[in-house]
Amino acid sequence: MIKLLSEVAEVTGGHTFRTKAEAASGHVRLLQIKDIQEGILTDFSALPFADIQPEKLKINLQTNDILLPLRGERIPAMMIVNQQSTLVTTTNQIAVIRVNSLLINPEY
């Protein structure tokens, strides 16, 4: 059965930063286009902090979110496993696909 992507998932972009996205410290980790590699990301400790307050987050990455870079020559996909509920966001150069896990297996 063929379904539209919008029937099985929500697709959004990351946060738009007006200034430099990275910060020396903070409460929110930042995943950028250079961090996307094919596979699953479970450890966020190496990611820099984002220059944003937690209450202003547009999107917080959750387990089973699928990330696709919106530019570049190769297009790897990466899935997030965020079991510790770490605050992690991404830039607007990355599409975040949040699937309905009752309808589709995100690992597939």
- Please check whether residue 104 lies inside any domain of the structure: no
pLDDT tens for residues 14-31? Answer: 889 888 888 899 999 999
As for how many domains the chain has, the answer is: 1
Q: Which domain holds residue 49?
A: 5-99
The whole-angstrom separation of Cα 108 and Cα 88 is 23
Confidence class for position 74, pLDDT limits 50, 70, 90: confident
The whole-angstrom separation of Cα 93 and Cα 72 is 10
pTM for this entry: 0.86
- Please check whether residue 67 lies inside any domain of the structure: yes
